[in-house]
Structure 1
């Protein structure tokens, strides 16, 4: 797992899938022992289409990046505690710098949008809107 360089979210998701598959296989084998036959599973019904109210709120990319940077820092700290910091330091610091660059781009875009919104109602230059 550590060598695959998965994020903690990806690791949890993978482990959940493996556990579910193991549970399904366990139930199948129990059924074979109980009945002597391999029961073919019927495909599960597809869930009803999601409505707009049920949709998950849009996750802020900036917040995602902050969390990813924190995960990378924690990973590096763990590797250093295990004496493997030298091996992973360059890779992790590169990943962190890429995430920081993306965060800067998002910040610049947001700042530009805020400037446009706040200056929208104000006249620009020396032009006067007053009429004689």
Structure 2
């Protein structure tokens, strides 16, 4: 017995005893295949060149792009407020509908305190956003809640 070779392990059958597998069997699987490198999006080299030229020429970094970003941010901050108010109105409406469904199923008492607390939290948040509109919503809510709890 000059050269001994261990038995080749078939991937479909696993033996009960652990044993060494030959290198060829290990390399035949996908364990040694490396993922191909995918570079991420790089920065704009032309803009970088311009920026460095400005720094070397004037000793200052140009601040113009930052001004544009701050203007865009303030516009974006002003726009979501009405959307958030509408979101809150919809959430309050959903909670009222949920409570009505639970009352219809006889589970109203179980959920009433939780849902009313959530509604009051939403109303408070709406007040912070817009006092006039939230007052109108509060009047609508009192009409709905007094009419629904007979």
TM-score by length of 1: 0.38
Task: Report 1 or 2 for greater relative contact order, CA contacts < 8 Å, sequence distance ≥ 6.
Answer: 1
- Structure number with bigger Rg: 2
